[in-house]
Chain A
């Protein structure tokens, strides 16, 4: 083999090794860090597994937000609905600025004994904005309801 060929082979080898390492790393890490999204209907239908981390989205039910004010912890409970089903959410911390009753939000966390324990609550920075996941979930729930009434 000429030195030039050798060099080229080395380069290609390095590139292949690098890329396969990247793909391997990325896929392994990806598998561990994917958050699935479920709507309240899907959760009550048992689609969301217990003890895994996932996202939930829906509208905050009006009148459902309850802070435990006397406690020094910032515990808060509220209900999320996709208009068909409702799931109770529990969160400790400060809610985002645009968290309001009737607003579409997304929360990350896991289900424990029928309550969604959230470690993050996201509301988008625009009052008219609806997270696409939530919009789709609402639409799916509505279609289901329509199907039942027809």
Chain B
């Protein structure tokens, strides 16, 4: 019964998305106010119906209703409660429903937080989001219905993939999806602007906080995925250039470019056409990511059960979105004019360079990800692109890009002189080169690469702090810091996050020690002064698994630090062996132990013993970046209602309606 309610509200949601996609848009083009005003209620109804459907699926999980095929495939009555809730998005159908729910949530959010925006613009934005919602609801209902029944009803479910039974991964997909889908708001604003033919500062200002929030969640989502891969896959890596990781990273790169070009468009009225294109690309890349993951064209740990029909549907959808918006762009592009001039030394130029560099990075990732698929499709053999390709590109482009961040934020808009900023830049160069190239001396062996990486990271941090100080240098520092807008803090904080991230990556990649060794009980292995002493294994029992647990005492300079207990689990239903690494996390280093396989009839064990310096900084950096995005989005400038804009020249005046 519950499943039928879910199914029914999903169909109703499709109906409402059709209404939302058509009526307000027609109303906005024909000047029919009644149709226009349907947008907000329709958006909220769409959200409510999708939510009901989602809740119904969750209830089916909680009730162990194995007559629902999806529940039977991804759950089990012994599954702990939290994984029954997160198991809803543990497979293809459910995660698609989550995706749709998040889209509906964004749509609803736009309908509520759009006070200062003219009604006609809101209607168009919501309509565009309704179209996207329609596409995804249709996709769900036609190819991946989570409420399909199974007959005969099995007594027990096939259980959630053990890899997904983990807290980090339970929250990774929602975060990632909030980010992915969030770019649809920026996309919808751009399409709405193209429909109206008006590209002004107001449009960019409306779009900015939404883009920032989407970006923030995408950043957290990617960081969570990386963290999960680190402790759960059991090989201690934090990024594999796996095609699916790339699929989430490409929208991030373009989204980052979009945030910057939106700033330039709002403040100075430049790069309008470019900003529109970026918002189209950011969302299209999110869709491409979905296509790559869902269609099964990729070999990846993430690949779901594959179905060509699904791939075909998303491909068609992607073509319509990209084709439609680019056609609209080609039609409207002549209307987009920037009558603004800027000099070579200016913030505009810095942002342009930032966009070019980020664009190149994204393009390189795109080639590396799609090239093997193209070669395969042409029947020219099977190839794969190795991580050294990506590492190389990111080193060559990433270091100048990062160095530019430091300088770019100091430069003023429109026209600036190099000599104005040369003093802080020279001081920062001296400081970061000095510290950067001497700090590897403290480590076991000197590495020039580590010096370059640390210096680059420090350069960004130092210059951004200097920038903050420069704003407040004239006496009254405290008051100056108070009056500094949040968006400025956001910028400084996010950029510092990049510096922290780069230092983390450099240290981890240069100074990690990874040993795969054979150990028998009482064996002691020394890595960087840490003594790992193997005490043997015991058997432990979890709620839905059995495990062999190893005991490793870790001592440093005769002082016992901790006992690490890595596990080798066997889940009762799927019978997959799973490695649970044991990690002693620290600010400057992680100690990592994982059990490999038993040797000599379990008298000895193959063991991974890793020393990972500064690896926490990688995720810490990402969190700081996300914090910066949040600060920028919360700037009160965006919450100012009833901005006097010249945009509401339509038949409807924004003032009386915005209270609704």
Contacts and interface: CB of A to CB of B under 8 A. Distances in A.
A18 to B, nearest CB: 4
A132 interface: yes
A141 B341 CA distance: 65
A26 B596 contact: no
Interface residues of B, number: 48
Interface in A56-114: 67, 69, 72-74, 92-95, 97-98
Contacts of B604: 69
The DSSP consensus for interface residues of chain B is mixed
Given A126-B161, A127-B575, A26 B382 contact: no
Contact of A35 (B342, B386, B396): B386
A69 B606 contact: no
B363 A22 contact: yes
Interface string B303-331: 00000000000000000000000000000
Interface in A10-66: 10-11, 14-15, 18-19, 21-23, 25-26, 29-30, 32-37, 53, 55
Contacts of B385: 30, 33-35
Contacts, number: 113
Interface stretch (B171-179, B192-200, B279-287, B387-395): B387-395
B514 to A, nearest CB: 10
B301 interface: yes
Interface in B349-405: 352-353, 356-357, 359-360, 363-364, 367-368, 371, 381-389, 392-393, 396-397
Nearest to A53: B386
Nearest to B363: A22
A102 to B, nearest CB: 14
B643 interface: no
Contacts of A33: 385-389, 392
A26 B364 contact: yes
A36 B381 contact: yes
Interface in B457-516: 516
A7 B342 CA distance: 8
Contacts of A55: 382, 384
B551 interface: no
A44 B353 CA distance: 51
B412 interface: no
A147 interface: no
A139 interface: no
Nearest to A27: B367
Contact of B367 (A26, A72, A125): A26
Nearest to A97: B577
Given A36-B383, A55-B384, A69 B341 contact: no
B393 A37 contact: no
Interface of B: 161, 163, 234, 299, 301, 341-342, 344, 352-353, 356-357, 359-360, 363-364, 367-368, 371, 381-389, 392-393, 396-397, 516-518, 574-579, 596-597, 599-600, 604, 606, 608
Interface of A: 3-4, 7, 10-11, 14-15, 18-19, 21-23, 25-26, 29-30, 32-37, 53, 55, 67, 69, 72-74, 92-95, 97-98, 124-127, 131-133, 136
